[in-house]
Amino acid sequence: MNLIIDIGNSATKLAVFDGSRKVDSFKSHQFKCEQIEKKFAGLTFTKAIISSVKDLPPFIYDLLTVNIPFVHIVSNRSKLPFRIEYETPETLGTDRIAAVAGAYSHFPGKNVLVIDAGTAITYDFLSGKVYRGGNISPGINIRFRALHRYTGKLPMGSISEEFRSPARNSLEAVTAGVITGVVYEINEYIRTFEKEQNDLKVILTGGDGEYLRGRIAHEITCMPDIVADGLNYILEYNAK
């Protein structure tokens, strides 16, 4: 069994893989070592991997190495089946590396655009066996908070299934502006990449991926587990 730990900006996600098959998972906003011990009591892990976009809590590595023979911490120095063409690889988020690895594992040799709509929205491009780089923009909730915080009177917006555009009140105007802006942004990214790349595969993931999927005007594949898949792939690749 493989234990996958993905520490993100907003939550920590844990998953258990049996080979390449995910058998269990859960997400926590207040992650503690007791959660691992309680949730996975009775399971025996032979390998584990940790990805963190923040400073790694010191207890995690110590906790895992006590009982798990092989523990890998993801970095730009991890062995990967593709080349990274990022000028500052040490600043590249491990969640982005994992998402690209997941894309490679599912679509080897293809041109893949991975859109991860989470706290930030990331656009990462894999071309065959080369990671070409990507862009980062504010996620939906960051945009809502920024409008509320840095203006005098605008209300705090949130994701809504229904809103009018053009809007007829300030709350609706914030909602329509943020959501429509994100959708336009994603659609334009996809349109540009499709124009420049042959046989492009587009993957949508992240906490807001499910909400956005029906609003995108292009063919996409929604893969909520692409980061976990990629971490499991990296783990197996580095354990060889």
What is the pLDDT at residue 38?
73
Q: Is residue 144 part of a domain?
A: no
What is the pLDDT at residue 199?
92
Q: Is residue 235 part of a domain?
A: yes
Q: Are 40 and 151 in contact (CB under 8 A)?
A: no
For residue 219, give every residue at least 6 positions away whose Cβ sits within 8 Å of its Cβ, in sequence order, or none. 202
For residue 131, what are the β-bridge partners? Answer: 84, 126
What is the pLDDT at residue 32?
66
DSSP structural state of residue 145: H
Catalytic residue among 6, 18, 62, 95: 95
What is the pLDDT at residue 48?
95
Supply 194's token pair.
């499709």
Domain span at residue 99 reads: 2-139+177-239
DSSP structural state of residue 90: G
H or E segment and range at residue 50: strand 47-52
CATH of the domain at 99: 3.30.420.40
> Phi then psi for 201, rounded to 5 degrees?
-105, 130
Our count of domains for the chain comes to 1
Q: Is residue 158 part of a domain?
A: no
Tens digit of pLDDT at every position of the chain (240 positions): 999 999 888 888 999 999 999 998 888 877 666 766 777 777 889 999 999 988 877 777 777 888 899 999 999 999 999 999 999 999 999 999 999 999 999 999 999 999 999 999 999 999 999 999 999 999 999 999 999 999 999 999 999 989 999 999 999 999 999 999 999 999 999 999 999 998 999 999 999 999 999 999 999 999 999 999 999 999 999 998
What is the pLDDT at residue 104?
98
What is the pLDDT at residue 31?
67
Catalytic: 24? no
Is residue 136 classed as helix, strand or coil in its secondary structure? strand
Q: Is residue 107 part of a domain?
A: yes
Is residue 74 classed as helix, strand or coil in its secondary structure? coil
> Would the pTM of this model clear 0.85, i.e. be above it?
yes
Q: Is residue 154 part of a domain?
A: no
Distance CA 117, CA 137 (A): 10
Q: Is residue 48 part of a domain?
A: yes
Distance CA 206, CA 140 (A): 11
Distance CA 77, CA 38 (A): 32
Q: Is residue 165 part of a domain?
A: no
How far, in Å, are 63, 85, 86, 150, 230 from residue 49 at the CA level? 13, 23, 23, 39, 11
What is the pLDDT at residue 39?
73
Q: Is residue 163 part of a domain?
A: no
Distance CA 173, CA 193 (A): 30
Q: Are 84 and 131 in contact (CB under 8 A)?
A: yes
Q: What do you get for the CA distance between the two ends of the chain, in Å?
A: 15
